[in-house]
Amino acid sequence: MILPSAPNRSLSHARDKRHATRRPLVVSGRLSWKDQRGTTRIANVITRNVSDDAIYVDWREPSAIPMYRLVHFQVTTEARRDESLPAPLRTGKVLSAVFRIGQRRKTTGTPEGYALRLLVPPPGHTRDRSLESPELATA
């Protein structure tokens, strides 16, 4: 059964499932993560584009990072002054997760880049401090 598409949605909008608009931005950064043996790895990267909750980085390293691996991303100190950078990236290291791997290069088999989801609270989100009470609940 074929359902009719919504009249107010364009075909390009239906394919675009992003939560926020991406903006082109080229700044230097660094990724750090632990491999499957527990060894800390570090790689220098260049951002291609950013949004409020994600970032895409170009990859030049001979190694690869698996999908869904947790990584720490930070931009260089000089780049943190850039006002077009999302606020979480201007503060230092940001815990992120690899959620998309770019096409693999035919020559090396390594990806061209990675899309990282920034694991930060959404803008305007406040924590409920009443849940953090040090008092124990009694039954």
CATH code of residue 46: 2.40.10.220
Q: Is residue 10, in this structure, part of any structural domain at all?
A: no
Nearest-angstrom CA–CA distance, 33 and 102 = 18
Beta bridge partners of 55: 50, 116
For residue 45, tell me if it sits in a domain: yes
Residue 48, domain extent: 20-118
Report whether pLDDT(1) > 50.
no
Comparison of pLDDT for 123 and 104, the residue scoring more: 104
Q: What are phi and psi of 48, to 5 degrees?
A: -105, -45
Q: For residue 121, what pLDDT is reported?
A: 79
Answer whether residue 139 is part of any domain. no
pTM of the predicted structure, to 2 decimals: 0.74
- In a domain? residue 11: no
- Averaged pLDDT score across all residues of the chain: 82
Judged against a pLDDT cut of 60, whether residue 14 lies above it is answered with no
Q: Domain count of the chain?
A: 1
Given this model, what pLDDT does residue 59 score? 95
106 falls within a domain: yes
The dihedral built from the CA positions of residue 125, 130, 135 and 139, taken in this order, carries a sign that is: negative
Query: Is residue 6 pLDDT above 90, yes or no?
Result: no
**Does any domain span residue 14?**
no
Q: Tell me if 105 is assigned to some domain.
A: yes
pLDDT band at 117 (very low <50, low <70, confident <90, very high): very high
Distance CA 55, CA 73 (A): 10
**d(C-alpha 127, C-alpha 87), whole Å:** 18
Give the model's pLDDT for residue 16. Answer: 54
What was the pLDDT predicted at 4? 45
